């Protein structure tokens, strides 16, 4: 049974992340929104802190190990009361939520906290986790020929002795220029279809890997979004995540397991941005003399107050779905359905809450006097990347109806 009261061991790191968001991210948020592609030098301090905490064993907020437990920890969790544990996934979620409350673009730029780190945590072997546990990894899936259909990967990986040779183009790679490593999805045998798609850890200085350009975007401007070219890019043979064998029966499940870790994290980002907008809106409404009364029916109070309560309830639902999907991951329960539910709900909630906040705040919301308009721009990507709203709903429908991807498109 899920316990929604957060354990004390996670409250400390979540509070620490909130302090980072409040003291570091918020003050520089507008600066890097206006200075797109300018490197946030303030994050160098973050990098040293994250690495130092990791070395001391007190850091439980990121890196590849942030969403992964060791065999010894698994045994320990199995003996805990009621089998209820909160581990790396829950810690990563809470920290994503808190830092996104400060600035989601800067959150996506924190060293060692890339989406590729969650991918490594999902499918890496224990040996690979020891090698890649402290890298900063971006995720490279999308290509010019496809967006949401991850099975349509055309990038290839060919074995050549003790190396893999990768060729292809990847677009919309978050932190693609700044990360030290890139998790690249590629096919090892196109004739075998989606079952042959594997993920590879590619060092940013690997021969044949280059950054073609950086994208100009609507939001999350503090984060670099790159187009990457792989031209006879060579990496060591053991940089393929998980097993190199192609299991046609298992199909695409291996690499898709990555999303079971990352989608609740992205949902958590939307929850963080949504909470920031709600808190700012509440101050504006109260300063304008609008009273928010939780005991009065909607028809008997100010329209803005009634709308605020609706938004807050929607936020709470998204938050609880995030907690459930993440708790299931920590407790080794299949969470593909719940991960997609949390991502769909939180993504939609984030755009609704932030845009309504801009609307209800009037001229103040549309101006740059507050960060409301920025949060509205930032939140849209959280409803798109790691699987769009429509894709999440399609996955939920397949899981509930028991249909395969071929049966329900």
Which of 118-122, 227-231, 295-299 has the least mean pLDDT?
118-122
Percentage of the chain lying above the pLDDT 70 cut? 88
Domain 137-239 part of CATH 2.40.110.10: yes
Query: Which of the four pLDDT bands, split at 50, 70 and 90, describes residue 6?
Result: confident
The pair of structure tokens assigned to 77 is 């969790």
- Specify whether the backbone of 82 is left (phi greater than 0), alpha (psi in -120 to 50) or beta: left
For the cut 90, the answer to whether the pLDDT of residue 80 exceeds it is no
**Residue range 128-140: mean pLDDT, rounded:** 91
Most confident of 149-153, 330-334, 347-351: 347-351
Q: How many CA atoms lie within 13 A of 15 on its CB side?
A: 7
The string of pLDDT tens digits covering residues 37-69 is 999 999 887 766 655 545 434 444 444 444 555
Q: 405: how many CB neighbours lie within 10 A of its CB?
A: 14
Q: 286: how many CB neighbours lie within 10 A of its CB?
A: 12
pLDDT score for 1: 55
The pair of structure tokens assigned to 84 is 């209820």
Cα separation, 374 vs 95, in Å, equals: 21
Fold held by 8-132 = Butyryl-Coa Dehydrogenase, subunit A; domain 1 (1.10.540)
Fold held by 253-401 = Butyryl-CoA Dehydrogenase, subunit A; domain 3 (1.20.140)
Percentage of the chain lying above the pLDDT 90 cut? 68
Q: Mean pLDDT across the chain, nearest whole number?
A: 88
pLDDT score for 261: 85
Q: Which residue has the tokens 């309560």?
A: 309
pLDDT score for 303: 96
pLDDT score for 49: 62
**Residues 380, 219 contacting (CB under 8 angstroms):** yes
**Residues 390, 384 contacting (CB under 8 angstroms):** no
Q: Where are the domains of the chain?
A: 8-132, 137-239, 253-401
Cα separation, 113 vs 64, in Å, equals: 8
Cα 227 to Cα 178, 182, 210, 212, 383: the distances in Å are 12, 12, 9, 5, 21
pLDDT score for 73: 53
**Residue range 337-366: mean pLDDT, rounded:** 98
The string of pLDDT tens digits covering residues 227-269 is 999 999 999 999 999 888 887 656 565 567 778 888 999 999 9
Which of 66-80, 83-97, 281-295, 378-392 has the least mean pLDDT?
66-80
pLDDT score for 59: 46
pLDDT score for 58: 43
The string of pLDDT tens digits covering residues 193-224 is 888 999 999 999 999 999 999 999 999 999 99
**Residues 62, 95 contacting (CB under 8 angstroms):** yes
Q: What is the dihedral sign for C-alpha 20, 22, 24, 29?
A: positive
Query: Which of the four pLDDT bands, split at 50, 70 and 90, describes residue 389?
Result: very high
**Residue range 323-349: mean pLDDT, rounded:** 95
Query: Which of the four pLDDT bands, split at 50, 70 and 90, describes residue 279?
Result: very high
Cα separation, 264 vs 323, in Å, equals: 8
Residues annotated as part of the active site: 386
Please state whether beta strands 197-203 and 181-187 pair in parallel, antiparallel, or not at all (unpaired): antiparallel
């Amino acid at each position: 049974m899920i316990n929604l009261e957060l354990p004390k061991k996670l409250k400390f790191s979540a509070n620490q992340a909130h302090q980072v968001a409040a003291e570091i991210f918020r003050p520089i948020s507008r600066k890097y929104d206006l200075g797109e592609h300018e490197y946030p030098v303030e994050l160098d301090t973050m990098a040293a802190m994250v690495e130092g905490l990791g070395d001391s064993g007190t850091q439980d907020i990121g890196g590849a190990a942030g969403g992964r437990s060791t065999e010894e920890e698994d045994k320990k969790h199995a003996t805990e009361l009621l089998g209820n544990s909160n581990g790396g996934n829950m810690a990563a979620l809470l920290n994503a939520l808190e830092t996104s409350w400060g600035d989601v673009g800067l959150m996506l730029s924190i060293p060692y906290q890339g989406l590729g780190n969650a991918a490594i945590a999902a499918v890496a072997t224990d040996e690979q986790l020891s090698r890649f546990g402290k890298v900063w990894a971006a995720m490279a899936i999308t290509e010019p020929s496809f967006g949401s259909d991850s099975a349509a990967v055309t990038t290839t990986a060919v074995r050549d002795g003790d190396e893999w040779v990768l060729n292809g183009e990847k677009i919309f790679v978050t932190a693609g220029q700044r990360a030290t490593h890139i998790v690249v999805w590629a096919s090892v045998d196109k004739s075998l279809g989606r079952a042959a798609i594997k993920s590879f850890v590619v060092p940013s200085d690997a021969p044949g890997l280059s950054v073609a350009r950086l994208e100009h975007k609507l939001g999350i401007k503090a984060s670099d979004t790159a187009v990457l070219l792989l031209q006879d890019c060579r990496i060591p043979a053991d940089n393929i995540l998980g097993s190199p064998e192609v299991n046609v029966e298992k199909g695409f499940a291996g690499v898709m397991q990555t999303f079971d870790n990352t989608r609740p994290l992205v949902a958590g980002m939307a929850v963080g941005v949504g909470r920031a907008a709600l808190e700012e809106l509440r101050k504006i409404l109260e300063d304008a003399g609008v009273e928010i009364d939780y005991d009065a029916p909607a028809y008997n109070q100010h329209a803005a107050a009634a709308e605020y309560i609706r938004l807050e309830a929607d936020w709470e639902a998204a938050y609880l779905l995030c907690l459930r999907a993440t708790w299931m991951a920590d407790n080794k329960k299949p969470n593909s359905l719940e991960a997609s539910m949390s991502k769909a709900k939180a993504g939609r909630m984030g755009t609704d809450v932030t845009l309504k906040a801009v609307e209800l705040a009037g001229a103040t919301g549309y101006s740059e006097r507050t960060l409301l308009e920025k949060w509205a721009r930032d939140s849209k990507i959280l409803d798109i990347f790691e699987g769009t709203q429509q894709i999440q709903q399609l996955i939920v429908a397949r899981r509930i109806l028991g249909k395969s991807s071929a049966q329900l498109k």
